[in-house]
Amino acid sequence: ISKKNWGQFFTPLKVVRAIVEMAKDEIRSGTKICDPACGVGKFLLEPIATKIEQLFEVKNGKLESKITIHGFDKGFDKDEQKTIILAKANMLIYFSDLIKENPEFSKQFSTLFNESFILKTNSILGTLSDPMNDYYDLILTNPPYVTSGASNLKEEIKKSGLEYYYNQNAVGVEGLFMEWVIKSLKPDGKGFIVIPDGVLSRNSDKKLREFILSECIIDSIISLPPKTFFTTLKKTYILGITKKTNKSEIQNEPVFSYLASNIGETLDVYRLDIQENDLNEAVILFNQFKGAKNYFKSNDPRCKSIPSQWFIDELNNSWIIENLWNENELISLGIKEKENVIRVDEFSTYLANLSQTINEYQEQLDSISSVTNKYKEVKLTNKKYFEII
């Protein structure tokens, strides 16, 4: 798979694990978990990594699953289809100890893998071609976020008679997935979705934000640094939601917010581990916040408890949480770079100095190029110059 596609399919593992830590208390016997754009399956496999033998048990000659995991991905061309193969390969690795202990159940494990990761080949819509309602307890996902190609998907939605389901007229593909996620969650079900800043700020996505407010309680918004994903500078956020059990319910509890500058790895193509990882503290504070939302307090300058009314007041403007910090705070946290402002007369002096420096370098280059190089041929066998041992 090309490097370009890796950015689309693979969420950095440290981001996956942070989201899993925020969601792990929701996983219990009977839980149905889904990732509608699963890529290689990490959002579904990481939550069960440390307790596979508790959740999947070989008993009375049968492999019993105490939870359900469903990972869907589009497989309209050969490159896309490879990700589901990688997801099943990942699942094989995660389950290797259990399989080693029970080799006679290999066919049942194979069936489990095939039922857990499902390729959608019937339409360019992929997962979006199969609308669901009130089914999953937990959805963890990083859906594609692009505006190009969205018109083709919307045309296919129209042809397929799915306009009744996707009726928020969201701008990008991510908006369609947001509708799918919210409608697919059970009442009181939870979702943790990586979204681009456009969902929070585009005027054309105001209707989508209204939909989120009407259907869900907003639990958290965590700001991720630019370059979090391999192939894009797109600014992204982790949005945590709980689907309302009663649509008339008005959110009174505050929303947890956090600004992350580092995710535990370098934000370049090398992705080397570093000690600085703001997501660790974000997870700790969020888990504290969950226990007593109205009483939560933190001295961490990256963290704020946002009154729910703010989201109503700013519906027509923007839900970009950085707006709640002033410029000096953002600069001190490394979220924003300090701007160097100079006067017009200072800029004139700066240009004059720069011009002088360029001229000096040009003179040096001219003097070097004017020197005639002299060469002398020397045979390697001439011991005057070389002694070969």
The length of the chain in residues reads: 389
pLDDT, position 8: 52
Query: Sheet containing 117-120: which strands, arranged edge to edge?
Result: 117-120, 68-74, 32-35, 136-141, 185-196, 236-243, 216-223, 255-259, 303-306
pLDDT, position 386: 55
All residue ranges of the chain with pLDDT < 70 are: 1-9, 147-148, 369-374, 378-389
First to last CA, the chain: 50
Give bridge partners of residue 73 from the DSSP assignment. 119
Q: What pLDDT digit, counting tens, does each position of 300-316 carry? A: 999 999 999 999 999 99
Reading the block at residue 108, the tokens are 């049942």
Residues 6+ apart with CB under 8 A from 212: 178, 182, 218, 241
Q: What pLDDT digit, counting tens, does each position of 251-274 carry? A: 999 999 999 999 999 998 889 999
From the list 296, 265, 251, 259, the residue with the least C-alpha distance to 281 is 259
Question: What is the C-alpha to C-alpha distance for residues 359 and 344, in angstroms, rounded to an integer?
Answer: 23
> DSSP letters of 309-320?
HHHHHTTTS---
Judge residue 135's burial from the number of C-beta atoms within 10 Å of its C-beta, 0-12 exposed, 13-18 middle, 19 or more buried. Answer: middle
Residues 6+ apart with CB under 8 A from 309: none
Question: What is the C-alpha to C-alpha distance for residues 268 and 231, in angstroms, rounded to an integer?
Answer: 9
Q: At what angle do helices 78-94 and 106-116 cross, to 10 degrees?
A: 130
User: Which residue type is seen at 295?
Assistant: Y
pLDDT, position 329: 95
Cβ atoms of residues 106 and 99 within 8 Å: yes
Q: What is the three-class DSSP state of 298?
A: coil
Q: What pLDDT digit, counting tens, does each position of 38-83 carry? A: 999 999 999 999 899 899 999 888 999 999 999 999 877 777 788 8
Give bridge partners of residue 57 from the DSSP assignment. 64
Cβ atoms of residues 264 and 14 within 8 Å: yes
Reading the block at residue 130, the tokens are 């199969």
